[in-house]
Amino acid sequence: MVSLLPEDIDSYTRRLASSHPLRQEILVSAMDDLDLPGKSAGIDVGCGIGLSTLLLAGAKEKDLHVTGVDISGEFIKTAETLAQKTGLSAQLIFEQGSASTLPFADNKFDWAWSVDCLNYAPGPSLAPLKELKRVVKKGGRVALLGWSSQQLLPGFPALEAKLNATEEGIAPFQKEMEPDRHFLRTGKILDQLGFKEIKVKSFIKDICAPLDGDIFTALEDLIKMRWPKKPRGLSKKELALYRHITDSSSPGFILNASNYYGFFTYTMFVGTR
């Protein structure tokens, strides 16, 4: 996907695209498990630059038509560019808009999908989900996915545990938020909103050496996105160790280990309208 981006794209967007090869397999597994009906129309809320939207539209023998919505106009422009370059534009529509006030009529879509967005990122917890319920047809399903765990620094469990306990590590959850706002309590929220047949399942992505070029770059960018260069809450000694194993110019760069293994998980909540 990186090669399809405009040359002047910002570094964050480029990082989203370069880390996509790692997420792609796990997202496809979730889509396969969801088994959306063929020739149906759905909405991808918080679509970003359209990476998961493209996967939905490209599902084999499904002929899915997907509308991607994101509050960022720049993301929408990039998503439209990627759709054109991948030959999927006939199945895709991208619109700028807020998840809390979706610009669509009631009962418009057969299903809804959202990754790392609804009930995951900070913001009004109920309004976007109420909007999904409004725009999805009776009997249609709503699928919400979110990053739920990782082990990316094998051999350094104490350091990784400390990183996961920092403000950046628990993000997008924040310390002052109510426990029910944590993504893994999404089932309770769906139940409160009247969704039926609520199901939950986690999907794992194994990462094993040797790492080919795309996966190596994707994992490097993933680590940078998960934790910043200088995570808050670490001692000087811990910060030095963190930099030693995550800096690509360091002799201790962990991804250069010949027997590297790590994993991460995504969790999907599904409710029926």
Position 69 confidence tier, pLDDT thresholds 50, 70, 90? very high
Nearest to 196 by CA among 119, 252, 133: 133
Q: Average pLDDT of 228-238?
A: 91
Let me know: does 120 contact 148? Beta carbons within 8 Å: no
pLDDT digits (tens, 9 = 90+) for 100-115: 999 999 999 999 999 9
28-49 exposure pattern, b = at least 16 Cβ within 10 A, e = fewer: bbbbeebebeeebbbbbbbbbb
Structural domain includes residue 251: no
Structural domain includes residue 130: yes
Residue 225 has pLDDT above 90, yes or no: no
Percent of the chain with pLDDT over 90: 79
Q: Average pLDDT of 130-159?
A: 97
Q: Which amino acid is at 1?
A: M
Q: Average pLDDT of 54-63?
A: 93
Q: Which amino acid is at 125?
A: S
Q: Average pLDDT of 76-96?
A: 94
Q: Average pLDDT of 245-261?
A: 96
* Domain total of the chain: 1
Structural domain includes residue 232: no
What pLDDT does 9 receive?
78
**pTM, to two decimals:** 0.93
Structural domain includes residue 200: yes
CATH number, residue 63:
3.40.50.150
What pLDDT does 6 receive?
67
Q: Average pLDDT of 150-162?
A: 97
pLDDT digits (tens, 9 = 90+) for 178-223: 999 999 999 999 999 999 999 999 999 999 999 998 899 989 988 9
pLDDT digits (tens, 9 = 90+) for 13-28: 887 888 888 999 999 9
Tokens of 189: 């929220």
Structural domain includes residue 31: yes
Tokens of 69: 């919505």
Q: Which amino acid is at 107?
A: N
Position 1 confidence tier, pLDDT thresholds 50, 70, 90? low
Q: Average pLDDT of 69-81?
A: 95
pLDDT digits (tens, 9 = 90+) for 26-43: 999 999 999 999 999 999
Structural domain includes residue 55: yes
Give the domain extent around 19: 2-150+174-208+261-272
Average per-residue pLDDT in the chain? Answer: 93
What pLDDT does 2 receive?
63
Structural domain includes residue 95: yes
Structural domain includes residue 122: yes
What pLDDT does 15 receive?
79
